[in-house]
Amino acid sequence: MSYQQHKGYQYETGKHECHRERWRSRLDDCSLDHLLGKKLDGELVFPPPIFIRLPDLYADDADFNVFGNTSIEVFARTGNSGSARSADYDVTVVVTVTGNGIPPQVVSLTARAPGLAVGARQFTAMGYVTVPDRMYDYDLSTVIHVDTANQMNGGEVRELDETNNTFNDGTCRVFGKNPDTSVTGCR
């Protein structure tokens, strides 16, 4: 085996390839002895890994209180599956109301939720949406966004996983006088 110099750094040619430059190293069947160009005596000790404890907020359910009139109260369930308590955070629920030939009505509701302990879940009262009347069936399609403040920078709460902050709860139906039960009723 022979050693060659390249820009002040040493690498080995032959059976083992150890190439080291200022900004990277290439190791192919290489040992530290080969990489450093000298015999090492002793042991290499790595520090223990550092574990960062962070919350991980998510949403997993939307609930509704359907009153006898046209007002429907909306709730969002959120949780923390991380390894640390979360700070307070914003929850946004986007509800799209469709049915009976009306143009879709999109309502966005935002509320502040208190911080959550590890493993905890909670419902947050979001506000109200209305349907035009109770004569006909109307469908509510719901999407929940957790930790919505400043989403361009990953949200207000630093989390383990910023990619699981949106939940599509699907569609439920507010029944009128002659209900079509092919869609689950809002609960």
Residues 25 and 79 in one domain: no
Q: Domain for residue 157, yes or no? A: yes
Q: Is residue 181 part of a domain?
A: no
Task: Give the pLDDT confidence of 155-182 residue by residue, as tens digits.
Answer: 689 898 888 999 999 999 999 999 999 9
Residue 139 DSSP code = E
For the chain, the domain total comes to 2
* pLDDT single digits (tens) 76-103: 999 999 999 999 999 999 999 999 999 9
5 secondary structure, DSSP code: E
pTM: 0.72
DSSP notation for 69-135: SSEEEEEEEEEE-SSSPPPPEEEEEEEEEEETTEEEEEEEEEEEE----TT-EEEEEEEEEE-S-SS
69 & 157 share domain: yes
Q: Read off the pLDDT band of 11 (50, 70, 90).
A: very low
Residue 8, in any domain of the structure: yes
Domain identity same for 79 and 159:
yes
With a pLDDT cut of 70, the percent of the chain lying above it is 73
DSSP code at position 185: B
Q: Are residues 30 and 62 in the same domain?
A: no
For residue 13, which amino acid is it? T
120 neighbors 105 (Cβ within 8 angstroms)? no
Q: In which domain, by residue range, is 18 found?
A: 2-36
Is 37:84 a contact under the CB 8 Å cutoff? no
Is residue 128 pLDDT above 50, yes or no?
yes
- Per-residue pLDDT tens digits for 129-157: 999 999 999 999 999 999 876 555 666 89
Please list, in sequence order, all residues whose beta carbon lies within 8 angstroms of the beta carbon of residue 141, skipping any fewer than 6 positions away. 95, 96, 98, 170, 171
Res. 21: pLDDT tops 70: no
Average pLDDT over residues 39-44: 65
Q: What angle do CA 59, 62, 67 make, to 5 degrees?
A: 160
Question: What pLDDT, on the 0 to 100 scale, is given for residue 76?
Answer: 98
Q: Is 47 part of a structural domain of the chain?
A: no
Output the domain CATH number for residue 94: 2.60.40
**Whether 101 and 153 share a structural domain:** yes
Q: Which run of H or of E encompasses 122?
A: strand 121-130
Q: How far is CA 9 from CA 25, 35, 96, 111, in A?
A: 11, 10, 64, 59
Do 90 and 170 lie in a common domain? yes
Q: Which residue has the tokens 């083992």?
A: 16
Indicate if 25 and 77 belong to the same structural domain.
no
42 belongs to a structural domain = no
In this prediction, residue 67 has a pLDDT band, given cuts at 50, 70 and 90, of confident
Q: 31 falls in which pLDDT band (50, 70, 90)?
A: low
Give Cβ neighbours of residue 15 (< 8 Å, ≥ 6 apart): 1, 29
CB 172 within 8 A of CB 180: no
Q: 176 phi and psi, to 5 degrees?
A: -100, -155
Structural contact between residues 91 and 122, judged by C-beta atoms closer than 8 angstroms: no
